[in-house]
Every structure is written in C-alpha cells, then in structure tokens.
Amino acid sequence: MTDSGERLQKVLARAGVASRRAAEELITAGRVAVNGIPAGLGVRVQPGDRVTVDGEPVAAPTPHVTYMLHKPAGFVTTAQDELGRRTVLDAMPPVPGLHPVGRLDKDSEGLLILTTDGDLTLRLTHPRFEHEKVYRVWCFPEPGEQELAALRRGVELEEGFARAEVEPAPGGALALLREGRKRQVRRMFAEVGCPVDRLLRYRVGGLWLGDLGPGEFVQLGEQELDWLLQPGTRQQSPAQREQEALTRRLWL
C-alpha cells in the first residue's frame, strides 16, 4: 500500500457523498470500489482512479485552493459580518468553501491565509503544531528593555499567561508568537504600557509576505505550501531567503 494519494473516505466526503464517518461505514459495508475492486479503509485514491458507490461513479472533487492575501486595515477576518462591514472574502475571488485561517483584527494588516482545505486549516491553527507567526509592531511609547523583558517572560491576560519572543525595531518591535489568541499582540503590548498604533503580520511558518501589496493576493503552489507548513525558518531554501530579504526591505 502506498502512502501517496488521498484517503478514500476523505475523497467521498469532499465529493459530497457522505461525512467521513458515514463514508467509512459505506466502505466497510463493501459498497465502495476503486477501479472496480472493492475497497478497504486503508485505500488511497490516486489521480485518475475511478471511485464508485453501489456501482455509481463518484464525481472527482474540486481540488483545494489556498491563497495568501495581504489583508488591508479595515477588513474583518470572517466569512460573513452581521454589521455589513467589508470582509476579507470581499477581496478574494468567489471560490466555494473559501475561508480565512485564523484571524487578523480589523485594524491589523499583512499576511493572511485563505483556503478551501479544512485539514490545512487544522494544521495551521492547532496549538500542537506551534506554527510561528511574526509581526511588525509600531507603538507609542516605544518599549524599552524593561518592557521587552516583561513580554519575553510573559504577561497575564484574561484567559491565561502569554509570552512572545520580541526584539526592538524603529518605532516599536518585532514579535514572534506560537499561539493565536484574539488580539494577543495588541493586548500584550498594552499590558506593558505600550499600546499598538499599527500591526502588520509578515510571516507565518516559513512563508513570507514578500512584495505582495495591500489588497493583493496570490494562489500558493506546492513550494509555497511547503514553506507555509514549516513551523519556523530553521532550514530556509535560497528562494525563502530571497523572500525574507524582500519582505524586510519593503515592510520592516
């Protein structure tokens, strides 16, 4: 059995045949075949394979798409807004199932991932994967060494203790997080007496913002998805280093 391809129950779920659990029941009942052969739970579907349920062909699901958007300030990170405000989906093409991964608050800017892939969303948002998210912070007053040290040690927020890796930058700081609480950067800096004037996220995992301008977006290919799924930047490719240099030159 090969590890390539997509799990059969996932293919059935994405094609709208049944939920994954119900799809597993169909498979174990012997009602699903791949290329005319009754399939078991461990089967993976390769491109071009013919999947049938009770002899009826299953339409191939639409491939997932993932975008990087440079979210402008003023857009809310949600699929729908009951107050009628502009959402990040207003800046994107109308793709069924497209949704933002995580959040950037309305006044914040920068790198935001949108995808149709629920597994990717889980991979990027679940705390156990510890994906790094890095922000450029402008604030007044600027944090001194005492405030930066407090942020590194951690501050107490309503829902618990939170810390960040921070370093000084002109007009503010750079902040690295491995968790994603609501408005976390703003609340942490406010807690040490340095309220945030402007906040821009410029890296998620190993993916950099590059020269993507506010309101612009780009569909991610396999290379960029690989960068995105790296927790950090310990092993950067030459192309990643180029994107890092470009990001720093334009936004930092």
Per DSSP, which regions of the chain are E strands? 6-7, 32-34, 37-38, 44-45, 51-53, 56-57, 66-71, 99-101, 109-115, 133-139, 155-157, 160-162, 165-169, 172-177, 196-204, 207-208, 217-219
Distance separating alpha carbons of residues 101 and 205, to the nearest angstrom: 13
Two tokens, residue 208: 């950099």
Q: Which of 49, 105, 107, 226 is catalytic?
A: 105
Is residue 105 annotated as a catalytic residue, yes or no?
yes
Residue carrying structure tokens 């399939």: 39
* Helix, strand, coil fractions of the chain, as percent rounded to 5: 30, 30, 45
Known catalytic residues are 105
